[in-house]
Amino acid sequence: MSGFGKVLILAVAINCALWSFAQAKVVGEEIKYSVDGQEFTGYLTYDDAMEGPRPGVLVVHEWWGHNPYARKRAEMLATLGYTALALDMYGTGKLANHPKDAKAFMMATISNIAVAEKRFDAAHDLLKSQSMVNEKQTAAIGYCFGGGMVLHAARTGRDLKGVISYHGSLKTQTPAMMGAVKAKVRVYNGAADPFIKPEHISAFKAEMQAAGVDYNFVNYEGALHSFTNPDADAFAKKFKMPVGYDAMADGDSWMRTRAFLSDIFQR
């Protein structure tokens, strides 16, 4: 496809998204919950013009923590007719403004994977408990750190229809086993992401194939880490990080996301 054709498709997709957002009556509300005595703050979004339960989608944030970007993605899902919960993996108020703090928050969470699993599961249970959610129809999407988390949830057999990782880590200490994975898996990766090595990709694909997982891996040529986040360019400049926004990869991955969610939920 020509460059003009891709730009045209992206423009149409963005216009459709804006039209949907204008039509929907999206409600967003903070929701407090507790895990092992620690408070967490999630963000629940849904279209209040719709009636009855609908599929629910978890949104797992980047290593920065539960920030406006994660909430924006939850709101985008609500315009598509889903109930979305942007969860909190760190705890209320733990939001990083510097990579050193982000890394510290992330490592404190994943250093004991049982703790990370408990936090993910608590948010999943919270989502399923909402009256506007069909508890048998849930999925999870995640960005960077969150992408690795949703892949872990799939690998360990969490009851999800599907998971989507955007520029997330592919490495694991708990590889998927045959028959254990319930979720369909989709991964959107930046081919120029220096954090994701070719050997990581090869190992991931081999793992998924050996475990019989329904998966698809899309590698966007020229795209860097955090290619879905418009703030990535500012992070790159401020902190000299090898990250960057890529409008084409962002638009294409979101179109694929919409199609995937529609497929797994049969909507």
What is the pLDDT at residue 149?
98
What is the pLDDT at residue 19?
45
Token pair for residue 182?
Answer: 């319930």
pLDDT tens, position by position, 19-63:
444 456 899 999 999 999 999 999 999 999 999 999 999 999 999
The upper half-sphere exposure of residue 251, i.e. CA atoms within 13 Å in the direction of its Cβ, equals 16
pTM of the entire predicted model:
0.90
Distance of CA 199 to the CA centre of its chain: 23
Distance CA 177, CA 62 (A): 26
Query: Which is higher by pLDDT, 41 or 9?
Result: 41
Task: Please count the structural domains in the chain.
Answer: 1
Domain that holds residue 7: 3-264
Token pair for residue 103?
Answer: 């890394």
H-only helix segments in 56-212: 68-79, 99-110, 113-128, 145-155, 198-210
CATH number at residue 246: 3.40.50.1820
pLDDT grade for 6, boundaries at 50, 70 and 90: low
pLDDT at 7 over 70: no
